[in-house]
């Protein structure tokens, strides 16, 4: 990450491209092309993680607060090349999210029209793990809370593939070396094949333009997934989860809780939520920490848990602005929860 920051800072400050310093970790393609324009691969990933220099940060804050850009043409052109500012000198989608990230939490919530909810927890504040404590809090209140940042929905894609592996294999779109893996390493083959098709379904390239052949492969894969997933009852989905957990135990969650979440969302809502991952850009956002089902009101909610002095990150802001509206019919509320620790005897 230090290399990325150094390369970006050099790019914004100097009159040169930083392409030689920033390489795509997957295939060594430069993130910046020779003319200084940014390639689409990894744009959101890298910009989300980038901590901008003072002059870049100040410019982004000014724009998101409604001010006008006061900067030299060189920096302005670099902001455009980095896809943070549009040709009309407005913030782009990623630029808007990045600019909000640079603000204090209260100002973030004001712009996003979100409110924060204090939840009272007993004891001292831990160094880490407040998300699990928040999940336990909701469980004690009678709700079902799963803490895995939305992974349950991506894992549902794997569960579908696990239960319908032969249908996906018959597409023949996976690389030939998978067949060799099936013979030489049969124990890891199911993991690799599921990972491959899951990546193709959610388009791990994000906004990357893909060639016609890969686009057709992806279309076939998504059609197969949709038809397979829509035929699966709740128990079939749960069996799929058990299958992937048998080989990837680090992914294991409570099967009972997942069943209750599916029940709370209703199978149609669960399918719709999972199917959103097939849409362009949906996987770029970072899901909130908790998925919560309240049986007393039969409502679903999403919760991002933050320390008092913490703030929303760029990809979390992207999710709220661009992904949450697509699932708001299932999740009636998106909230920011801030634990307040109460010492015994207070």
Q: Do both 302 and 233 map to the same domain?
A: no
Helices (H), the chain: 2-13, 43-49, 54-64, 73-81, 93-101, 105-112, 130-140, 151-163, 165-169, 177-184, 189-202, 212-230, 234-247, 255-275, 314-318, 324-327
Summarised one tens digit per residue, pLDDT across range 267-308 is 999 999 999 988 877 877 889 999 999 999 999 999 999 988
- Give the whole-angstrom CA distance, residue 179 versus residue 255: 32
Q: Which of 13-22, 50-59, 236-245, 246-255: highest mean pLDDT? A: 236-245
Domain extent at residue 47? 2-102
Between CA 327 and CA 272 the distance in angstroms is 8
157 with 8, same domain? no
Of 128, 93, 141, the closest CA to residue 292 belongs to: 141
Same domain? 189 vs 309: no
- pLDDT tens figures, 90-118: 898 889 999 999 999 999 999 999 988 98
Same structural domain, 253 and 168:
yes
Number of separate domains in the chain: 3
Contact 276, 284 (CB under 8 A): no
pTM, two decimal places: 0.83
What average pLDDT does this structure show over 8-33? 51
- pLDDT, position 171: 87
pLDDT band at 327; cut points 50, 70, 90: very high
pLDDT tens per residue, range 165-224:
999 988 888 877 787 888 888 888 888 888 888 888 886 544 445 567 777 888 899 999
Q: Indicate if 182 and 93 belong to the same structural domain.
A: no
- Quick one: 176 and 232 in the same domain? yes
Domain end marker among 102, 135, 162? 102
pLDDT of residue 343: 64
Domain of 340, CATH number, reads 3.40.1350
Do residue 49 and residue 123 come from a single domain? no
Pair (141, 156) in one structural domain: no
Q: In this structure, are 279 and 168 located in the same domain?
A: yes
Mean pLDDT is highest, among 37-46, 48-57, 121-130, 149-158, for: 149-158
Q: Which residues pair with 30 in a beta bridge?
A: 23
Q: Are residues 30 and 97 in the same domain?
A: yes
CA–CA gap between residue 152 and residue 200 (Å, rounded): 18
Q: What is the pLDDT of residue 1?
A: 52
Are 274 and 160 within one domain?
Answer: yes
**One domain, residues 239 and 170:** yes
Residue 24: is its pLDDT beyond 90? Answer: no
Q: What are phi and psi of 305, to 5 degrees?
A: -95, 130
Determine the 3-state secondary structure of 137 from DSSP: helix
Cβ contact 318:101 at 8 Å: no
Alpha-carbon distance 11 to 22, whole Å? 10
């Amino acid at each position: 990450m230090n290399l990325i920051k150094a390369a970006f800072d050099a790019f914004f400050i100097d009159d040169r491209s930083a392409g030689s310093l920033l390489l795509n970790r997957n295939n060594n393609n430069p993130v910046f092309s020779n003319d200084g324009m940014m390639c689409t691969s990894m744009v959101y990933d890298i910009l989300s993680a980038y901590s901008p220099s003072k002059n870049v940060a100040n410019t982004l804050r000014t724009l998101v607060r409604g001010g006008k850009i006061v900067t030299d043409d060189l920096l302005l052109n670099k902001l455009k090349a980095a896809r943070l500012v549009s040709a009309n000198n407005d913030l782009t989608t990623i630029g808007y999210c990045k600019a909000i990230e640079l603000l204090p939490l209260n100002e973030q919530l004001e712009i996003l029209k979100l409110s924060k909810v204090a939840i009272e927890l007993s004891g001292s504040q831990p160094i880490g793990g407040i998300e699990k404590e928040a999940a336990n809090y909701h469980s004690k209140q009678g709700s079902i809370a799963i803490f895995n940042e939305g992974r349950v929905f991506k894992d549902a894609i794997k569960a579908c593939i696990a239960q319908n592996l032969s249908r996906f294999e018959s597409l023949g779109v996976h690389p030939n070396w998978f067949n060799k893996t099936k013979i030489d390493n049969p124990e890891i083959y199911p993991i690799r094949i599921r990972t491959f098709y899951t990546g193709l379904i959610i388009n791990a390239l994000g906004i990357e333009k893909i060639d016609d052949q890969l686009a057709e492969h992806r279309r076939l894969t998504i059609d197969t997934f949709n038809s397979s997933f829509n035929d699966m009852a709740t128990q079939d989905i749960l069996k799929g989860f058990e299958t992937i957990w048998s080989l990837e135990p680090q992914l294991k969650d409570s099967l009972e809780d997942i069943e209750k979440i599916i029940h709370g969302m209703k199978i149609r809502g669960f399918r719709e939520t999972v199917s959103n991952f097939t849409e362009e850009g949906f996987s770029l956002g970072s899901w909130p920490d908790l998925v919560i089902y309240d049986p007393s009101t039969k409502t679903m909610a999403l919760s991002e848990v933050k320390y008092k002095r913490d703030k929303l990150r760029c990809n979390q802001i992207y999710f709220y602005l661009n992904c949450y509206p697509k699932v708001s019919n299932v999740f009636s509320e998106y909230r920011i929860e801030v634990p307040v620790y109460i010492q015994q005897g207070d």
